[in-house]
Amino acid sequence: MNDKELLQEVMQRAQMWLDGNYDAETKDAVRKLMSAEDKTELIESFYKNLEFGTGGLRGIMGVGTNRMNIYTVGSATQGLSNYLKKQFAGLPQISVCIGHDCRNNSRKFAEISADIFSANGIKVYLFEDLRPTPEMSFAIRHLGCQSGIILTASHNPKEYNGYKAYWNDGAQMIAPHDTAVIAEVNRIQSVDDIKFEGNKALIKIIGEEIDKLYIEKIKTLTLSPDSIARHKDMKIVYTPIHGTGVRIIPRCLKEFGFTNIIPVPEQNVVSGDFPTVVSPNPEEPAALSMAVAKARETDADIVMASDPDSDRLGIAVKNDAGEWVLCNGNQTCVLFTYYILRRWKELGRLTGKEFCVKTIVTTEVMKDVADKMGVEIFDCYTGFKWIAAIIRELEGKRKYIGGGEESYGYLAEDFVRDKDAVSACALMAEITAWAKDNGKTLFELLQDIYVEVGFGKEKGISVVRKGKSGAEEIQQMMRDYRANPPKEIAGSRVAVVKDYQTLTATETATGKTSKLDFPCTSNVLQFFTEDGTKISVRPSGTEPKIKFYIEVRGTMHSRADYAAADKAASEKIDAVRASLGV
């Protein structure tokens, strides 16, 4: 399709919004786009439908078929309602739970979704105000709901919003429900198919009663109450980065026994504009800069930050020179895994039936820790729905005691089925207290883990390609890597290539292939070199990016070796980047 044909099709799509039963404000905005001399924004808004993918919706807010607005949210909710009514036709009352974060329009979208569900005869439990994503997952399970949604775009910039859909186990949907819901959403061909007139009798507002139950369950995760008691006044700097953790995470820390939680007042302001940061992402150093400044000012023991929907945790710690450094998601996963498994072992709780889970792009050090402790660890695809799927598969047979992913997500419990920064903050504070009890800083604990099981350093690189042309470029990059996989990377021969789209692992020396045991295919490639380097490549499922995950390995014999091991690993990562051209 050439540019002229594309514009003609877009104009026709936009005209349908002017002719349909859309509100006056929406129509005015559409007219403005249609009459603008530069048609770029019109094309981006209408060139396709915002896809209800396997995790739901995520996109820039605005008018149009490719934007987050009351009509795209309405279509998603109507499609999900239709599916629930088919799946649970025998139930006397289908119910759903709805939560939302601090983003602009999140409350509006949540209330409109509540109206649509209720108009379809579905009972709605609607949180009174913003709440963390993991609490919504908890509420689905506690209330016995068949589904749930949360309005959030997680850590995306302020222009975005999103809609994540969950099944009755409190996890994001996987097959067959994900694709079946997508099919129902795609059947909504007109705004007239959406039932916007709600039934208030079917909408129940929830809040404090769920908060209490959720926090009480999190308190059962504590493994070192004596350490907390001895270090209850240690200095914890915490920032919610304007999001949903603002009240519940300090409250949870206090309920755990910590008394000295230091806020970052400017970032306690709840705002979908995220006024103090460019991006509200705890993976970005800039997002933690104010908290780190507060830690220097107060001589704190740890810095913790959660993203807007409080499912991701970022931390900063003091290194051996007294400087504040950020830990990446892999390092926090290693700290959580080591602490939980070691304490379970020391407390005599390990029976041989426990297990952990990590994603395929997460550090192999996590596996080394589990192996050392004699606990099985499973690999799964990126995204917590896959960790939740393994928990569900083994439920009643084995005991889940932790899982995480490199993108700053960890889950220590099975009463939530998504990554949880609320419980993660409480446990990370406990780990800090336990380390102090053992005469160590958190940084020294991490060093000691590397001495015990082997050193690893990771680097994530995202190449952004926006819009229609960007999406096409990303797909072409994946095709090129498949057609011509690298033979060596940074001077080390590629030994194994794993292609999750064909579910095959290929030994490059012999050409021998074996089958990968995964539940479905995924557009991911991995290259393993002879020197232990692992490179994973995949398009992002939620953002206009292609992601590269690089992990290199090394050895440490003592804490004194850390600087040299880190420097060598950084040089190796630079060489890998040069080889890949990223």
Q: How many CB atoms lie within 10 A of CB 144?
A: 9
Q: Could you identify the residue written with the tokens 């960007």?
A: 470
Q: Which of 160, 464, 459 is nearest to 309 (CA)?
A: 160
Give residue 558's Cα distance to chain centre. 34
Report the alpha-carbon angle 101-104-107, nearest 5. 55
Phi, psi of 576 (to 5 degrees): -65, -45
* 450, containing H or E segment: helix 442-453
Distance CA 366, CA 427 (A): 17
**What secondary structure letter does DSSP report for 396?**
T
CA distance 57 to 50: 7
Torsion of CA 341, 344, 349, 353, to 10 degrees: -10
Indicate the SS3 state at residue 95: strand
What secondary structure letter does DSSP report for 233?
T
Q: Which amino acid is at 10?
A: V
Report the C-alpha gap between 332 and 92 in whole angstroms.
44
202 secondary structure, DSSP code: G
Check if 492 is active-site. no
Contact yes or no for 88/131 (Cβ under 8 A): no
State whether residue 219 is helix, strand or coil.
Answer: helix
Strand partners of residue 498: 505, 526
Whether the CB-CB separation of 545 and 539 falls below 8 Å is answered with: yes
φ/ψ (deg, to 5) at 224: -140, 60
- Do 435 and 530 meet the contact criterion of CB atoms below 8 Å apart? no
Q: CA 427, CA 421: separation in Å to the nearest integer?
A: 10
CB 164 within 8 A of CB 152: yes
Residues in Cβ contact with 342 at an 8 Å cutoff, skipping those fewer than 6 apart: 373
DSSP label at 542? S
Which entry of 154, 224, 306, 310 is annotated as an active-site residue?
A: 154
CA nearest to 385, candidates 183, 167, 185: 167
- Whole-number Å distance between alpha carbons of 496 and 491: 15
Q: Are 489 and 535 in contact (CB under 8 A)?
A: yes
Cβ 326 vs Cβ 285: under 8 Å: yes
Residue whose token pair is 């082997």 = 454
How many Å apart are CA 304 and CA 466, to the nearest integer?
Answer: 31
Residues 6+ apart with CB under 8 A from 239: 263, 264, 267, 268, 288, 290, 291, 303, 304, 305, 306
Identify residue 123 by its one-letter amino acid code.
Answer: K
Contact 149, 166 (CB under 8 A): yes
Active site residues: 154
